[in-house]
Structure formats: structure tokens, C-alpha cells
A and B are shown apart, each in its own frame.
Chain A
């Protein structure tokens, strides 16, 4: 089976500082992996390398088997990679309505208007925002904005979805509710996903596989049980102890 996303020995350096070092990671179609790590461990940089915003200094990034970045060069620009992203601060375009935020990407793909509108209608209905289609982001509640960001990513039917701590600013009940919604949506569509978080509970709830990054390196990966059974570093031990 061809991997949805594959990083092969990726190193990213800024000057003499190595932000990612020799990272190899494969995400299979339909798989959801959670990337865990302390602040500054390189989690967001890893996502940006997959998206094509930063080239790997060394190593290769493949999407659906095709090489998209390699050894300091971006071979396929972000808009041609077929990925979607839910940003930490959501990045909803403030001058566009909810529907227009969803339509922007569909328009870029050249879909006919009727198809676009049908997909937007179905997606908004699925996330419970049909009534808010004409609202601007500033008129929405925190939870509604979060749903728009998720809907905007999924309406594109991407090859994979990347999520950069999208629930970090929410209170616990709302976070649980959205986590459940996200889990359902990804399962329904069988979209592979990389979910970045520093919350081990969130990672455990969503990720079939946990990948732990520390100091720019992958220090351990596997299921929650396997990691908990043999933690590779004090950081891994500390975060898995929290779950006990």
C-alpha cells in the first residue's frame, strides 16, 4: 500500500541550529497519527515541511508516493499537494463569510458552482453550521470558528489533513465535544491525519499511533500501551504517567 505521507531522513536546519534531525515518518492511508512533544521540539516545523512551506535541508518528503520536496528544494508548491490544514489560530479569513471561507479552496480546484455549493451545504450541515453560512468569523463563537476551520479543511476532500494543536485554546467540555466530532468526521471520510499536540490525553483519544518528538528527533513511536510499557525518555515517562 502506498503511504499518504512519507518523510525520509528529513533534517531542517536554520543556520547552525537543527530544528528537525533525521526524521523518518510514514503515514498510511486512513491512519491517524498524533505527534507529541514539548514546546520547541519541532512539531510545527514538521507539519510545515510536509505542507511545503519550508524545504528540508536534507532528506525527502513524499505525498502519495511522489517526491514533493528534497534536499533543500520544494518540487511541488503547497497548493499542488492536495493537503489540508487546521491551523492553531484557525486562520479563518476575516473578510470572507463562513461559506466563502469554504468555497475559496473549491474555487481554486475549478469545481463548477453547483458542485461547490452542494459540497459546502453538506459540510456545513454535517458540522451543524447551516444557519451560520452567511456569518463572518468575527460573528462566531469559539466553538463555531473551530468547526468552520475543520469544515474548511475537509470540504476539499484532501489526501491528508494536518492539524496543529487546533483545540489548544478551548475549555475542556468544548474540547471533548470537538474531539468527538473530529474523530467521527475523519473516520467517515477515511482521511489520513497528522495531529500535533502537547496534550497526551488528546493524542491518546485521537491517534492510533503516537509519535514523540524531542529536540527535533523522533524518540519513540507506537501505540499508547507500547509506549507506556517502555518509555524511551524521562519526558515520555512523565507524560504517560499523567494518564495513569
Chain B
């Protein structure tokens, strides 16, 4: 089973990267001429320079918030965490649209000055910071919840809660903080729609222009994607060197229930700061709602939606099912350190941290051929793209879950004569059903929010809702665009709601 799952992942994620490298001789002259000019390097540098403050701000706010949510007596922690996470499951472009209706010239509090600041690098950084901070918050919080309770109790015997938090808990979460930095950097570098909307020229936009616009030149797109390959490898090296093995070591230890750290007189201030940050990130959604209703956008919505929601649900749903299956087999293998699993885990991470234009261009190189049109010309290409990019999400969810279950349970089944498939089906799957469900749900919403991968190769007439929204933004009436953005929010909310209901129904065996 591991071999079959590995083959699917290699086909989806590694082949595009190999094909991209293989195209090098054919595009060598073009590559040299394009990369010989200063323009691509300026764009690449700008993309990196934009990503750095997004990472710093996300870590600066997400780390303390993760600590507050996981280990303190902050009021309504679960509600706060849920609300904080929601914007992460939306395309950042939706939030940028909302902020446009707040800070744009005709926005709620808009003036010339706010509009000038918003349409520029500050706006890009601000929107992406508020969207991606939950990555850091949640990884830190989950990491802190997984820290062995006795490590914390041993410190509580000799130190105040604040000192325990700063000297024991936060360092324990260091791998999670670094992983967040890598993921936020990768997501920011891949981001296409927000910088384009806010008129900031970045590297992914240059690649996109050569694949979908009037500058159509696929050879140049291949050339432009090349500098991003070493960047992706660099991110993967950082993840392997400083995060991968340590994150496995932390998770899985006994997470005994413990008393939350009392914030004392700081509790009201901490609550105010946390709620302010969370509501700030959600404010654009409220404004989008007002804009859609007042301008009559909601009434026109059915005419503009077309098949986009069903395309989104179909492609994301099928992809999530495939990803959850792969994630189950590969995640279990990675947690149990089976042969080859570490390499496949690294490959899935590489595909995620590889900037979306590279993966997109690679997928085009593999699948845009006469005999593969059944895939490339249909919704199947979206499924392949999503599987390539998001398998790591389910893989890591399952591996964390498997690490919580003693290996003895599987060994006992083996000594009772159960083969590998039977053990996976009858022991591992029931014991990790919630982990698999979490992987499926996360993969579903990540596929649903995807724009940057899908926009490069979506089949004609089968575009998902994110792409419809992105393409209509330039020419559509603002209330209609706002209504389409709300439809994306509603679709995400419905999928999350259904997934959480499934969670409630699926209780862990005692």
C-alpha cells in the first residue's frame, strides 16, 4: 500500500518538478535571455522582501496568541480559536476585497491617504499578515497542547507561571514556530491575487501573465519558474533540518489534562488584545456582506455564479478524498518510520513549500499533451494539482494522530497474525479515524480556497469559484463581486460545518 500511495504522490508532485528541469535544454536560450535581465530578479527580491514582514508579524502575534489559547484561562478560548482560524480557510483575495470596501477611496473609513497606503506593499503585508497568522497560532497552540504535562509540572514546582511559559513552554514550541515561519513564507511567496489586486508587481504575477494573459509565452514561464526551485529546496532543507524530526519527537507524549495558567490581573487585557486581533481579521467579511446587500449584488448572484460552486465542491471533494487516503497510508508510515516514508514525507512538504507557479508550470509541462487531454481538459487536472500541493496537510494530521497511539496495539495485531493491510484497516484506521477526518477536512478547505495553483491550468468552462471571483473582479460590479466573495465564504462555512458535525458524530473509542 505504501508503494502504491508513494507512486501516486510521485506522479502528482515529483513528475511536474522533474519535467520542469527536463524542459531546461529546450528553454535554455529563453531562460538565459530572460534571467539575464534585471527585471525577474527585482520581482523575486520584491516577493521575498514582502514575505519577510508577513512572517515576522505573524510570528510576533501568532506565538503569544497560541500560548494564550492553549494554556491560559483566557475566556471563551475555543470560540476565539475557531473564529481566528476561519480567515485562513478563505482565499486571501476575499479579505483583500473586504479591506478595499473599508480602506479604499470610497470605503467605510476610506480617504485618499488610506487608499494610497492600502494599494501598495503595506496593504499586501497587512492582508496577508491577518490571513496567515492563524497558521502560527494553531501550530504553536497544538504543539503546546502536546507538550508532556510532567515537563510543565516539573517547572511549576520551582517557577512562576510566566517563567514556565517563557522558559519551558515557548522553547518547547520552537519547532512549531519555525515550521510556521516556513509555511507563512511559502504561502506568501505563492500569493498571486492579493498583490495583483493591490497593484504590487511580484514574481508569481510575472509567471501568471505568461500563461494566461496577452503575454502568453509558456517557454518564458518555464524560465521564470526556475529561480523558485532552489528557493523551495532551501525551505525544504530548513524544514528537514530544524523541524521534521523534532516535531515528531514532541507530539505523541502523554498530554495529561492540566490546569490552565492563570493570567491574574492581565486577563482582561489579554482578552481584549486577542478579541481585537480576531475581530480585525473578520471585519472585512462583515463589510463585504453589507456591500453585497446594499448594492443588490446578492440578487444578481445566481446569474454570475454559474457552475463555479459545483466545480469547486467537486474538484475539492474528490481531491480531499484522494488526499485523505494518501495521507492515511503515508502519515502512518511516516509516524512509524517505515522504509521510504521519510522521503515521501519530504516530497509532500517540498510540493507544498514550492511556490505555486513552479508547481503549476510543471503540471502543465506534464499533462498538456495530446494523449492526456482527458485529464488536462477536465476537472481531473484540478484534482491532480490539489493532490500534489496539499497531500502534506493530511499526511501530517494523520502522523500526529498515529503518534498518540501506542505502537504495541499494532504489534499485538501482527503477533495475532494480521497482515499489513488488515492492521491498517482494522486497527490503525479505527483508532485514528478522527485524525484521518481532520486531514480530509483540512485538505477539503485548502483545495476550496486554492486560487494560485488552479488559476494556471483550470479547464475552460470548469473554473472553481475562486478563479471566477478573481477573473470577475476586474470588470464586475463591486456589489456582485462582494456577493461572489460571500458565496465563497458561505461555501467554506458549510463544508467546515459539515466536517465538524462529522467530528461530533465520530467519537473516539475509549
- Which residues of B168-186 are within 8 A (CB) of A? 168, 171-172, 174
Q: How far is the CA of A156 from the CA of B258 in the complex (A)?
A: 24
- Which residues of B108-159 are within 8 A (CB) of A? 148, 150-151, 153-159
Q: Within 8 Å of chain A (Cβ to Cβ): is B163?
A: yes
Q: Within 8 Å of chain A (Cβ to Cβ): is B259?
A: yes
**CB pair B148 A91 closer than 8 Å:** yes
Minimum C-beta distance from B483 to chain A (A): 50
Main secondary structure of the interface of A (DSSP, over half): loop
Residue of A53, A88, A89, A108 touching B158 (CB-CB under 8 A):
A108
Q: How far is the CA of A1 from the CA of B465 in the complex (A)?
A: 78
Minimum C-beta distance from A15 to chain B (A): 13
Q: For A101, give the chain B residue with the smallest CB separation.
A: B154
Minimum C-beta distance from B254 to chain A (A): 8
One digit per residue, 1 when the CB lies within 8 angstroms of any chain B CB and 0 when it does not, for chain A 51-92 equals: 101000000000000000000000001110101110111010
**CB pair A83 B171 closer than 8 Å:** no
Q: Within 8 Å of chain A (Cβ to Cβ): is B477?
A: no
Q: For A162, give the chain B residue with the smallest CB separation.
A: B157
Q: In the complex where A53-B258, A53-B259, A104-B155 touch, is A91 in contact with B160 (Cβ < 8 A)? A: no
**CB pair A78 B160 closer than 8 Å:** no
Interface residues on B, range: 20 to 34
Minimum C-beta distance from B71 to chain A (A): 14
**CB pair A51 B153 closer than 8 Å:** yes
Minimum C-beta distance from A94 to chain B (A): 8
Q: In the complex where A53-B258, A53-B259, A93-B151 touch, is A78 in contact with B174 (Cβ < 8 A)? A: no
Q: Within 8 Å of chain A (Cβ to Cβ): is B167?
A: yes
Q: How far is the CA of A94 from the CA of B171 in the complex (A)?
A: 10
Q: How far is the CA of A81 from the CA of B159 in the complex (A)?
A: 11
Minimum C-beta distance from B319 to chain A (A): 38
- Chain A residues with CB below 8 A from B153, complex form: 51, 53, 78, 85, 87, 91
Q: Within 8 Å of chain B (Cβ to Cβ): is A17?
A: no
**CB pair B157 A95 closer than 8 Å:** no
One digit per residue, 1 when the CB lies within 8 angstroms of any chain B CB and 0 when it does not, for chain A 11-34 equals: 000000000000000000000000
**CB pair A84 B157 closer than 8 Å:** yes
**CB pair A79 B167 closer than 8 Å:** no
Minimum C-beta distance from A147 to chain B (A): 16
**CB pair B167 A104 closer than 8 Å:** yes
- Chain B residues with CB below 8 A from A81, complex form: 157
Q: How far is the CA of A89 from the CA of B259 in the complex (A)?
A: 20
Residue of A79, A87, A91 touching B159 (CB-CB under 8 A):
A79
Q: How far is the CA of A91 from the CA of B150 in the complex (A)?
A: 6
- Chain B residues with CB below 8 A from A109, complex form: 158
What count of chain A residues pass the 8 Å CB interface test?
A: 22
- Which residues of A90-119 are within 8 A (CB) of B? 91, 93-95, 104-105, 108-109
Q: How far is the CA of A88 from the CA of B149 in the complex (A)?
A: 12
Residue of A83, A104, A108 touching B160 (CB-CB under 8 A):
A108
Q: For B172, give the chain A residue with the smallest CB separation.
A: A95
**Which of B150, B153, B158 has its CB near the most chain A CB atoms (within 10 A)?**
B158
**CB pair B159 A105 closer than 8 Å:** yes
**CB pair B154 A79 closer than 8 Å:** no
Q: How far is the CA of A152 from the CA of B158 in the complex (A)?
A: 11
- Chain B residues with CB below 8 A from A85, complex form: 153-154, 157
Q: How far is the CA of A109 from the CA of B153 in the complex (A)?
A: 17
Q: How far is the CA of A104 from the CA of B254 in the complex (A)?
A: 23
Q: In the complex where A89-B150, A91-B148 touch, is A79 in contact with B168 (Cβ < 8 A)? A: no
Residue of A51, A53, A89, A156 touching B148 (CB-CB under 8 A):
A89
Q: How far is the CA of A95 from the CA of B175 in the complex (A)?
A: 11
Q: How far is the CA of A105 from the CA of B171 in the complex (A)?
A: 17
Q: For B150, give the chain A residue with the smallest CB separation.
A: A91
**Which of A79, A85, A89 has its CB near the most chain B CB atoms (within 10 A)?**
A79
- Chain B residues with CB below 8 A from A93, complex form: 151, 154-155, 168
Minimum C-beta distance from A207 to chain B (A): 22
**CB pair A87 B158 closer than 8 Å:** no
Q: How far is the CA of A108 from the CA of B164 in the complex (A)?
A: 10
Q: In the complex where A89-B148, A95-B172 touch, is A108 in contact with B159 (Cβ < 8 A)? A: yes
- Chain A residues with CB below 8 A from B163, complex form: 108
- Chain A residues with CB below 8 A from B172, complex form: 94-95
Q: How far is the CA of A51 from the CA of B157 in the complex (A)?
A: 8
Minimum C-beta distance from B497 to chain A (A): 31
Minimum C-beta distance from A55 to chain B (A): 9
Q: How far is the CA of A79 from the CA of B160 in the complex (A)?
A: 6
**CB pair A104 B159 closer than 8 Å:** yes
One digit per residue, 1 when the CB lies within 8 angstroms of any chain A CB and 0 when it does not, for chain B 17-56 equals: 0000000000000000000000000000000000000000
Given A84-B158, A87-B150, 18 extra CB contacts under 8 A: A51-B157, A53-B153, A53-B258, A78-B156, A79-B157, A81-B157, A87-B153, A88-B150, A89-B254, A91-B150, A93-B154, A93-B155, A93-B168, A104-B155, A104-B159, A104-B167, A108-B158, A108-B159
A-B CB contact pairs (8 Å), 16 listed: A78-B157, A79-B157, A79-B159, A81-B157, A84-B157, A85-B157, A87-B153, A87-B154, A91-B148, A91-B153, A93-B151, A93-B154, A93-B168, A104-B158, A104-B167, A105-B158
